[in-house]
Structure 1
Amino acid sequence: MTEDLTFNSKMAAVYEKNTRISIPTYNSLFAMIQSYYRVQLGEKAASLLLIGAGGGNELSAWGPSNPGWTFTGVDPSEEMLKIAKHKVVELGLESRVSLIQGTTDDLPKTHLKFDAASCILVLHFIDDVQEKLKLLGSIKDKLKSGAPFILVSAYGNHDESELQARLNVWKSFWIDAGRESSEVDEMVRSAITRLSLLPEKQIEELLAESGFMKITRFYSTGLFAGWICHTE
């Protein structure tokens, strides 16, 4: 058990470090989302659905300072969920967190609808556009009327110079963090070019088609952007 916790701690440390190199404003992003949720949800108790909850960063950022919030997190990765479970125990959030390996389809059919939801750094890993649309639609169906939803994803068109310019900025984050230029170029070839990116306009169209409204981009850093919206 001790070895397992040590392993998860090391995984979490690497994940945390790399994420914050890739997205230097990562902490600020979660603070912004928390402020937005607080305004939208008020002082009442609230249930939040976290898509891609493995890693547990949403839980770390929002759990301790919002005792009236409960969280249901879904993630298909068993290893990432181990990191999240480790953080839940570490923060003493066991009574307010439920973690499910899988997708929104694996949520209990009897579960009440949620007050808010987030999908952070997930959409660009889904290759098929119709699957992206299916995910967004399933999230919308799990939310109460008027509930806020936050989407954060890498975005752009692989064939356009605008993305290449932002990619150069992203590469500089890693070089400034001590990585060799050749290593960063390999990261681009092996990982970034394989991401299933969509232009901002198409992402907003998918959100609207899924039943979300008042869609607004509120965040952008390097390769990534974030949108706020609400269910109808």
Structure 2
Amino acid sequence: MNEEITFNAKMVLAYDANTRISIPTYDFLFTMAQSYFRAQLGEKAASLLVIGAGGGNELSAWGPSNPKWTFTGVDPSAEMLAMAKNKTVQLGMESRVQLIQGTIDDVPYPDSKYDAASCILVLHFINDEQEKLKLLRSIKEHLKPGAPFVLVSAYGDRHDAELRNRLHIWKSFFLDVGYESAKVEEMGNTIMTKVSFLSEPKIEQLLREAGFTHIGRFHSTGLFGGWICHAE
């Protein structure tokens, strides 16, 4: 393994580790999403569209126990997709996984639309509200009518004390595992300036405008929430 690959692997592993601190329920989040998909899809063969598939966590969480599922994963990061590909090979899932470097605009419309989709920890990295809506609409257009969709994103109103209170909780996750207070304060300032927060009502409004129905929040930890819904 050359130095560049080693560095990239370490970078992705560090991202994974920090995500699990930032969202202590991270792994259980995938378990809950899987239960939701299974309840909707039953035992039939199903195709899943995974937005933000870099790192391969959706693939490793859902692939082994659902051998009839196939996955199309898209991510703009070549380094993250390399890790997803490695996980695919390790799990023996190469025949069931297609990985695409880019955005949803690079995902071709299949002859038959997807049975389900996920977009986990992606939406809050898009600053423009209309671009967020465009992404959600594109996901919906790739789905069969009634298909289940899972969205996980940072959420909250920057001007509301409720978000500031959740920020204090989020900081405590890092303090508890030994991060220095000054570093945690720096991280908190960064996330509040770099992450694009929307209130929960606004997120639900965007989902409705994009063509999703039966919207409900199923998860909340720290700064992040998860919603389940269905394509019209």
TM-score range, shorter chain: over 0.9
Q: CA deviation at 1:159?
A: 1.4
Amino acid across the alignment from 1:184: V
Q: Given residue 30 of structure 1, which amino acid in structure 2 is its aligned partner?
A: F
C-alpha distance 34-213 of structure 1, shift in aligned 2 (>3 A): same
Q: Which residue of 2 aligns with 1:65?
A: 65
CA contact (8 A) 2:74 2:101 kept: yes
- Deviation of 1:134 after TM superposition, in Å, equals 0.2
Are 2:230 and 1:223 aligned? no
1:21 is aligned to 2:30:
no
Instruction: Find the counterpart in structure 1 of residue 205 from structure 2.
Output: 205
Partner deviation per Cα, 1:103-161 (whole Å, 9 max, x = no partner): 11111244531000000000000000000000000000000010000000000011111
Matched residue SS, 1:162: helix
Matched, 1:194 2:194: yes
Residue type of the alignment partner of 1:37: F
Q: Which residue in the other structure is 1:43 paired with?
A: 43
Q: Give the CA deviation at 1:86.
A: 1.7
The residue type equivalent to 2:115 in the other structure is D
Task: Tell me what 2:162 maps to.
Answer: 162
Identity of aligned residues (%): 68
Q: Which amino acid in 2 is paired with 1:63?
A: G
SS in structure 1 at match of 2:31? helix
Residue matched to 2:137: 137
Output aligned runs, 1:107-126, within 5 Å: 107-126=107-126
State the shift of 1:79 in Å: 1.7
User: Does structure 2 conserve the Cα–Cα contact (< 8 Å) formed by 1:29 and 1:219?
Assistant: yes
CA contact (8 A) 1:5 1:86 kept: no
Q: CA deviation at 1:10?
A: 2.7
Of 86-95 and 18-27, the range deviating more from structure 2: 86-95
The answer on whether the counterparts of 1:49 and 1:72 sit within 8 Å (CA) in structure 2 is: yes
Q: Secondary structure at the match of 2:159?
A: coil
How far does the alpha carbon of each residue in 1:156-183 deviate from its partner, in whole angstroms, 9 at most, with x for none? 0111111000000000000001100100
Contact 1:158 1:193 in 2 (8 A): no
- C-alpha offsets along residues 23-56 of structure 1, whole Å, 9 cap, x if unaligned? 0001110000111111100000000000011111
Is the 1:9–1:86 Cα contact (8 Å) retained in structure 2? no
- Alignment-derived partner of residue 152 in structure 1: 152
Q: Distance in 2 between matches of 1:97 and 1:7?
A: 25
Q: State the one-letter code of the partner of 1:132.
A: K
Distance in structure 1 (CA, Å) of the matches to 2:58 and 2:24? 16
* Counterpart contact for 1:217–1:225, Cα < 8 Å: yes
Find the counterpart in structure 1 of residue 128 from structure 2.
Answer: 128
Q: Is the 8 A contact 1:15 1:55 kept in 2?
A: no
Deviation track 1:211-230 (CA, whole Å, cap 9, x = no partner) reads: 00000011100000000000
Which residue identity lines up with residue 148 of structure 1 in the other structure?
Answer: P
CA–CA distance in 2 between the matches of 1:173 and 1:205?
A: 30
Q: Which residue of 2 aligns with 1:54?
A: 54
8 A Cα contact 2:12 2:79, kept in partner: no
Once residues 126 and 12 of structure 1 are traced to their aligned partners in structure 2, the CA distance between those partners, rounded to angstroms, is 20
Distance of 1:190 and 1:223 partners within structure 2: 13
Task: Output the amino acid matched with 2:159.
Answer: D
Q: Distance in 1 between matches of 2:110 and 2:145?
A: 18
CA RMSD between the two structures: 1.4
Letter in 2 for 1:94: E
